[in-house]
């Protein structure tokens, strides 16, 4: 216990039972425990020529040409990754690999969707002061996708936000 106390730099708490833990975590971590998405589903749909083989380092389902994994909670400022191994057999030029990422949140207000891919803009203005970064990620990602003959789009779907990136499989 003495070692834990030293590691906590004097912030020592006593939890009489498990119900005390949320208050302790909240006082120590504040907004870092802010959940911004729950029960998000990442669905990767592969077109002809591509076949999902297996997930690497994560549980998921493979059903035909789709690979699906869930993210129970996503916290403010947190990133989640999923690695998927694919089999590929060459086909005619112009085929795309499309990755679709959707959540079950409120989506974005329609008047903010156009600004989403502009440099130094964010989709939800209320998150600007709480998130790090400069609002360049989606602008750069769309530019790279376009440069490689693909696309990156956003749309509100029933039950949440949805990003879709398509990359030309032949480039």
CATH of the domain at 113: 3.30.565
Pair 22, 52 in one domain: no
How far is Cα 55 from Cα 52, in angstroms, rounded to an integer? 8
Token reading at 118: 């502009």
Asked if 149 and 99 sit in the same domain, the reply is yes
User: What pLDDT is attached to residue 100?
Assistant: 75
**Same domain for 151 and 104:** yes
Residue 76: the pLDDT is 67
Q: Is the pLDDT of residue 26 over 60?
A: yes
5 with 63, same domain: the answer is: no
* Range from 14-28, 42-56, 75-89 that averages highest in pLDDT: 42-56
3-class secondary structure per residue, 127-169: HCCCCCCCCCHHHHHHHHHHHCCCEEEEEEECCEEEEEEEEEC
pLDDT over 90 (residue 155) = no
pTM over 0.75: no
For residues 53 and 133, membership in a common domain is answered with: yes
* Residues 21 and 70 reside in one and the same domain: no
Is the same domain home to 6 and 71? no
Same domain, 108 and 67: yes
Supply the range of the domain harboring residue 9: 1-30
The pLDDT tens digits for 111-151 are 877 788 888 876 555 544 455 667 778 889 899 889 888 89
Confidence category of residue 29, pLDDT binned at 50, 70, 90: low
Same domain, 63 and 135: yes
Q: What percent of the chain has pLDDT over 90?
A: 7
Number of structural domains (the chain) is 2
Q: Determine the pLDDT at residue 4.
A: 47
C-alpha span between 110 and 123 (Å, rounded): 10
Q: What is the pLDDT of residue 6?
A: 46
Kindly state whether residues 127 and 163 are assigned to the same domain: yes
pLDDT > 70: percent of the chain: 70
Which among 120, 6, 1, 98 is positioned nearest to 49, based on CA atoms? 98
Q: 41 and 3 in one domain? A: no
| DSSP per position, 24-49 | HHHHHHGGGG-EEEEEEEEEEEE-TT
**Judgement on whether residues 48 and 13 belong to the same structural domain of the protein:** no
């Amino acid at each position: 216990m003495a070692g834990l106390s030293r590691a906590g730099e004097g912030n020592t708490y006593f939890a009489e039972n498990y119900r005390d833990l949320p208050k302790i975590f909240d006082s120590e971590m504040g907004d870092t425990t802010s959940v911004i998405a729950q029960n998000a589903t990442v669905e990767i749909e592969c077109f002809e020529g591509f076949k999902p083989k297996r997930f690497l380092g994560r549980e998921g389902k493979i059903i035909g040409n789709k690979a699906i994994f869930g993210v129970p909670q996503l916290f403010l400022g947190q990133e989640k990754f999923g690695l998927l191994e694919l089999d590929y057999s060459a086909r005619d030029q112009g085929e795309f690999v499309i990755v679709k990422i959707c959540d079950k949140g409120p989506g974005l207000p329609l008047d903010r969707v156009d600004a989403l891919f502009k440099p130094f803009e964010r989709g939800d203005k209320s998150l600007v002061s709480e998130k790090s970064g400069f609002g360049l990620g989606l602008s750069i990602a769309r530019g790279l996708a376009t440069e490689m003959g693909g696309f990156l789009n956003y749309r509100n779907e029933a039950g949440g936000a949805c990003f879709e990136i398509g990359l030309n499989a032949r480039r």
